[in-house]
Structure 1
Amino acid sequence: MIQRIFVALLVLATVFAGVPAPVAAADHAEQCTFPMTVTDATGTEVTISEDPERVVTTNPSAAQTMWEIGAKAEVVGVSQYAMYLDGASEKANVSGSGGLNVEAVIGLEPDLVLVPNSSYTAEPDRVRQLRDAGLSVVVFETGNSLDDVVNKTERIGTMTGNCEAGETRADEMRTSIENMERALEDAERPVGLNSFFGYTSGANTFISDVMVTGGLRNGAAEANLTGFAQINDEAVVKMNPEYIVIPSHAPHPSSPAYNSTTAVKEGNVIVVEANKLQQPAPRAIEASEAIMKAVHPDAYERYLELENESAATATEEPQTATETTATDAPETTATSEQTTETSAPGFGAVVSLVALAGAALLARRA
């Protein structure tokens, strides 16, 4: 039971961020030019002297991003919870029994250490130790939307010298989001509820955006719940969700309150792989796709058609460029907008010391 509570607190850890500023990547025109100086989520200016060849990721969301931009060969260290990634078992494990293993990270002599905000929130002293050892450590802000995840993907590409790959993956994600929106233009959105171990994802969470992008209304957000919050039986009954979305490691909710809902009565419980639903990384797009497929199968088929059309267009673009005459003005690429992302608000009530301890212990799993 304690283990389940700790797992639930994995996602909750992100609401205790308490850091002021987002990572500010180098200007678009100077991407992948080193040395590069960025300002991270702690307000610290971090200089990356040269194109990093050895990167350590302290949480699976950062590791997943490196994998998704084709840069896993540059990763020399990962957390134990990133072992689901293909080839991750061949990397050094930088997790210790009590959290991040500082000595292991320093011993890998990394050029860059990527630290998701949940890791920093849980273990700020260990991040400080890494910086005191002379390592370049970049802490990322908490992402509250899929757009935040997209922007972070692009920035990681920039800071690791993988600009083109980061931009390409980010553009693919943006296109997929746009195609889902197009496919769902005329769809009626039923009420959905994300449920895991007695908690839910309210407004200002990227999981809420995953659900909405997939064609649901987030009942928790409409009930004025913000961040990752506990939800009681009374709220569940009143909301009466038509669909319930759960991560793959969580049990199906089966209390009398949940059993009374339309979702449970009609078998509309959508199980999504936890590594896609609960990690603010590129594969979160696949969580939205899974929800759309279950809730709006016709729109999902239309979405696949749009994705194929987008892929075909992307393939044809280089051929179009070669046909441009010398008198044509060169096509310019729009600069990616650097959004200001803030930490998700915490709970209104004081969280117990036990919950805080659990969050600190398992925040590194996000």
Structure 2
Amino acid sequence: MRQKATSLFAVLLLLAAGVAPVGAVVGTGVEASAVQSNCSFPVTATDATGTEVTVEQKPENVVTLGPSEAQTMWEIGGKSQVVGLTKYASYLDGSDSRTNVSGAGRSYVNVEKVVAEDPGIVLAANIVSNETVQKLRDAGLTVYKFEKAKSLEDIYAKTTLVGELTGNCEGASETLSWMKDRISTVRSAVEGSDAPRVFVSQGAGWTAGENTFINRMVELAGGNNVAVEANVSGYGKISEEVIVAQNPEWIVQLGAFGAYPKTDAYNGTDAVKNGRVMTVSNQNVSQPAPRVVYAIVKMAEAFHPDAFAAANATTTASETTTTQPTESTTESAPETTTEGAMEGDSTETTTDAEDSTGGTPGFGVPVALAALAGAAMLARRR
């Protein structure tokens, strides 16, 4: 019973984070379109706490406090510098050889473990509390806390900045190049195409409506979010009557806990009757990091297969050959998964969540409770 309770809490902690609406980098002067290929030090940037953070030289050791920060380091070629990360980045190849700096119980960060790694810089997710950031600074560490991100442009800028802070400018430039190439292909594919009706399933009838990053991703992929048509703003539960009326042509499930309800209402939609149900990895929709591109591409290719194939054929020759991860629908177990439903990243503790300048972005408590209900059903099966 104790093991089941622990698992349920892990899922609640995981899904309370939600899909992040992430704010722009503050006061850095970084433009995603003007990435320097060769880093120079010292480099100074103002972080989410309003602190001017200076990195004197390329850091040999980096600790990431959030899966999107870790993912970004992996993508820009800084993997070997990362010596510590949170358990929510355990999906990354080779993460098991790094120190897990997550705190015990409801604590998100173990300050002592971070300090013991003697990092040249700590990259902190936006929901790491200011109090925790200050403790790390009081211990003599250089800490950069990121703002929330609200758009692809913010993710581009964050990728650039991580490269500059860690001495991986060339890798950041290459990463931006393939991201923009892929998004350019998507834009070409969906331009002038009819947008299919799409229902985003977060599980238990919950969905993402207007003013959410997920909705922006669906629209960019050339879909028409039925939740927006039904006047859902933010994240909320949608009625089966609305599902019947909107009759989505596609259902996009978000990760392992995003399965749509197998009721008559849903089973009667064009999406289910025509087998147009797809799952995208939480890791690729929730974290303000390069792999969000893969979820967008996957949706665009599904919604507009012919147009995407044609657009892809015209851009393939000009794309970079940077190694890119493949979209995966495999989800880890709750105890070892990423912060998965989203960077938010997760609530560090109740106090930390309240103290964080950005608050807890994304799904929030309602969807966390829905996910908890789903996890409870899984636990009963065991």
Asked whether the two chains share a fold, i.e. TM above 0.5, the reply is: yes
Correspondence 1:66-215 to 2 at 5 A: 66-97=73-104, 98-117=107-126, 119-120=127-128, 123-198=129-204, 199-215=206-222
Are residues 1:46 and 2:49 paired?
no
Return the match for 1:63 from 67, 70, 73.
70
Return the match for 1:309 from 308, 313, 317.
317
Q: Is the alpha carbon distance of 1:96 and 1:240 closer, same or farther for their aligned partners in structure 2, counting shifts above 3 Å? A: same
Indicate if the aligned counterparts of 1:52 and 1:160 stay in contact, CA closer than 8 A. yes
| Aligned-partner Cα distance in 2 for 1:5–1:345 | 13
Q: Which runs of 5+ in 2 are unaligned?
A: 1-7, 323-356, 373-382
| Aligned-partner Cα distance in 1 for 2:79–2:273 | 44
| Aligned-partner Cα distance in 2 for 1:41–1:232 | 38
| Aligned-partner Cα distance in 1 for 2:284–2:298 | 10
Q: Name the counterpart of 1:321.
A: none
| Aligned-partner Cα distance in 1 for 2:252–2:246 | 14
Correspondence 1:197-346 to 2 at 5 A: 197-198=203-204, 199-253=206-260, 254-311=262-319
SS in 2 for 1:11: coil
Indicate if the aligned counterparts of 2:25 and 2:158 stay in contact, CA closer than 8 A. no
Indicate if the aligned counterparts of 1:292 and 1:299 stay in contact, CA closer than 8 A. no
Deviations 1:280-330 (A, max 9, x none): 21111111121122221112212321331322899xxxxxxxxxxxxxxxx
Q: Higher RCO, 1 or 2 (CA under 8 Å, sep at least 6)?
A: 2
Indicate if the aligned counterparts of 1:226 and 1:345 stay in contact, CA closer than 8 A. no
Question: How many aligned residue pairs are there?
Answer: 320
Indicate if the aligned counterparts of 2:89 and 2:95 stay in contact, CA closer than 8 A. yes
Higher helix share: 1
Indicate if the aligned counterparts of 1:143 and 1:205 stay in contact, CA closer than 8 A. no
Q: Is the alpha carbon distance of 1:282 and 1:124 closer, same or farther for their aligned partners in structure 2, counting shifts above 3 Å? A: same
Q: TM-score, normalized by length of structure 2? A: 0.74
| Aligned-partner Cα distance in 1 for 2:51–2:45 | 8
Q: Is the alpha carbon distance of 1:149 and 1:227 closer, same or farther for their aligned partners in structure 2, counting shifts above 3 Å? A: farther
Indicate if the aligned counterparts of 1:144 and 1:343 stay in contact, CA closer than 8 A. no
Q: Is the alpha carbon distance of 1:265 and 1:102 closer, same or farther for their aligned partners in structure 2, counting shifts above 3 Å? A: same
Q: Name the counterpart of 1:332.
A: none
Q: Name the counterpart of 1:339.
A: none
Indicate if the aligned counterparts of 1:58 and 1:100 stay in contact, CA closer than 8 A. yes
Q: Which runs of 5+ in 1 are unaligned?
A: 315-341, 359-366
Are residues 1:24 and 2:24 paired?
no
Q: Is the alpha carbon distance of 1:234 and 1:136 closer, same or farther for their aligned partners in structure 2, counting shifts above 3 Å? A: farther
Q: Is the alpha carbon distance of 1:170 and 1:156 closer, same or farther for their aligned partners in structure 2, counting shifts above 3 Å? A: same
How many angstroms does 1:241 deviate by? 2.0
| Amino acid in the other structure paired with 2:113 | A
Deviations 1:187-220 (A, max 9, x none): 1111212211343223333322322222212233
| Aligned-partner Cα distance in 1 for 2:11–2:97 | 28
Stretch moving more, 83-92 or 131-140: 131-140
SS in 2 for 1:177: helix
How many angstroms does 1:267 deviate by? 2.2
SS in 1 for 2:17: helix
SS in 2 for 1:245: strand
Indicate if the aligned counterparts of 2:17 and 2:360 stay in contact, CA closer than 8 A. no
How many angstroms does 1:135 deviate by? 1.6
Q: Is the alpha carbon distance of 1:217 and 1:344 closer, same or farther for their aligned partners in structure 2, counting shifts above 3 Å? A: farther
| Aligned-partner Cα distance in 1 for 2:130–2:240 | 36
| Aligned-partner Cα distance in 1 for 2:263–2:12 | 17
| Amino acid in the other structure paired with 1:32 | C
Q: What CA RMSD, in Å, does the superposition of the two structures yield over aligned residues?
A: 3.2
Deviations 1:24-49 (A, max 9, x none): 33566987332222111232222222
Indicate if the aligned counterparts of 1:145 and 1:207 stay in contact, CA closer than 8 A. no
